Amino acid sequence: MSNEKKQKKPKVKPGRLEKREARMGYLFVAPWLIGVFVFLLYPLGQSFRYMWYNIRITPVETKFIWYGTKNFSQIWLENAEFPQGLVTYVWQTLVEVPIIVVFALIIAIMLNGKIKMRAFFRLLFFLPVIIVSGPVMNMLVSEGAATIPAMNVQSIISAFGMFLPQSVAESVGKIFSNMIMILWYSGVQILIFLSALQKVDPALYEAAKIDGGSGWECFWKITLPTIKPMVMLNAIYTVIFMSGNEQNELINMIKNAMFSGTKEKGYGYASAMAWMYSVIVTLVVLLFFLLLGSKKDKYDREFKRRMRRRRRQERLQIRIQRRSERNARKFANDIRRNKYKTNDGSNPDY
């Protein structure tokens, strides 16, 4: 048996069709790999190198002056806007991302129902993703299209300022002032939720309704657990999209520092700001991942706990059985060696 296990299975050479499929697979993946190396890894390494220098571009050459950590200390000690912008970004992200995800989920549930002109409404909610981007977004924001004219933001800030710190109240007021723009960002999330809702088996809802389950109970017991991975996906996507959006003040701050003509700022200064900003974005993404990550169901945990307990009992029974057999063999060997004898000197009859 051991020799059979040691024998290796003969290797089967791939045929022409498999080789052709492998080559086509590499061919399709090649544009993505080239894009990653050229437009992601190389600029990433270049910016990591730049943040340790003070870079000065002259008509003759580009001078690299070693600064070490001086760019970071200069940002935290002399630029008060950037640290304050990081705090504002974290607070607004933690508040705006749940709003966008919940709004997208509600709209997706409504668009998944049997309503008239369903395709038109799906197009209507996804249309801002195509139209409202880049210069169009900047033009609409400058014209005030991203705000609600009838909403008195100052009264909202004063109302929240009665029981919240002033900085927190101003952040909440800014969210209300940009409510239209926030909801414009939910088109992709609606599409992802819609595709996830269409994958839910209708038999689950039918069985729940037969047992007397209401629509609210079906949502919490069937819909939400089924699409929970998509909730995490949409939350992480929203964080990344808002972090790299052209309306982000930190992105504009880094861009202005990059093209600044002063001696202190430049590519090195902007690279240091970008790396600190990327670390904060990564921590926010990890936070949402820990909060919304896929956790095992309690019944699944209980089942696995019982299975582990059963396996431990089986292993314990096997050890007891082996020990008893070993003791019986030992006792029989002792009998054969005349270690245990009766009073008349003869072995007991077994």
* Tens-place pLDDT, residues 269-283: 888 898 999 999 999
DSSP 251-296: HHHHHHHHT--SSS-SHHHHHHHHHHHHHHHHHHHHHHHHHHS-PP
pTM of the shown model: 0.71
Question: Once rounded to an integer, what is the mean pLDDT over residues 223-250?
Answer: 86
Question: Using 50, 70 and 90 to split pLDDT, how confident is the model at 141?
Answer: low
Residue with tokens 């544009």: 31
User: What are the tens digits of pLDDT across the range 287-346?
Assistant: 998 888 766 666 667 778 888 888 999 999 999 998 888 888 888 887 777 655 544 555
- Please enumerate in sequence order all residues whose Cβ is within 8 A of that of 94, keeping only pairs 6 or more positions apart, or say none: 284
Question: Which of residues 28 and 58 earns the better pLDDT score?
Answer: 28
Question: Which of residues 350 and 102 earns the better pLDDT score?
Answer: 102
Question: Which of residues 23 and 245 earns the better pLDDT score?
Answer: 23
Q: What is the pLDDT of residue 279?
A: 92
Domain 72-292 has CATH 1.10.3720.10: yes
Residues 81 and 79: their CA atoms lie apart, in Å, by 6
Residue 136 has pLDDT above 70, yes or no: no
Q: What is the pLDDT of residue 282?
A: 92
Q: What is the pLDDT of residue 171?
A: 67
Question: Using 50, 70 and 90 to split pLDDT, how confident is the model at 350?
Answer: very low
Q: What is the pLDDT of residue 145?
A: 62
- Please enumerate in sequence order all residues whose Cβ is within 8 A of that of 131, keeping only pairs 6 or more positions apart, or say none: none
Q: What is the pLDDT of residue 161?
A: 73
- Give the Cβ contact number of residue 219 at 10 Å: 15
Question: Once rounded to an integer, what is the mean pLDDT over residues 9-36?
Answer: 82
To the nearest whole percent, how much of the chain has pLDDT over 70?
82
Question: Once rounded to an integer, what is the mean pLDDT over residues 89-105?
Answer: 86
What is the token pair recorded at 348?
């007991």
Question: Which of residues 138 and 241 earns the better pLDDT score?
Answer: 241
What is the token pair recorded at 159?
């109302």
In the chain, helix, strand, coil percent, each to 5? 70, 5, 25
Task: Identify whether the C-beta of residue 160 lies closer than 8 Å to the C-beta of residue 95.
Answer: no
User: What are the tens digits of pLDDT across the range 147-167?
Assistant: 666 566 677 777 777 777 766
User: What are the tens digits of pLDDT across the range 39-85?
Assistant: 889 988 988 988 888 888 777 777 888 888 888 888 888 888 888 88
User: What are the tens digits of pLDDT across the range 170-186?
Assistant: 767 777 777 777 777 78
Q: What is the pLDDT of residue 134?
A: 63
Residue 117 has pLDDT above 70, yes or no: yes
Considering only CA atoms, which of 133, 132, 134, 147 is closest in space to residue 178? 147
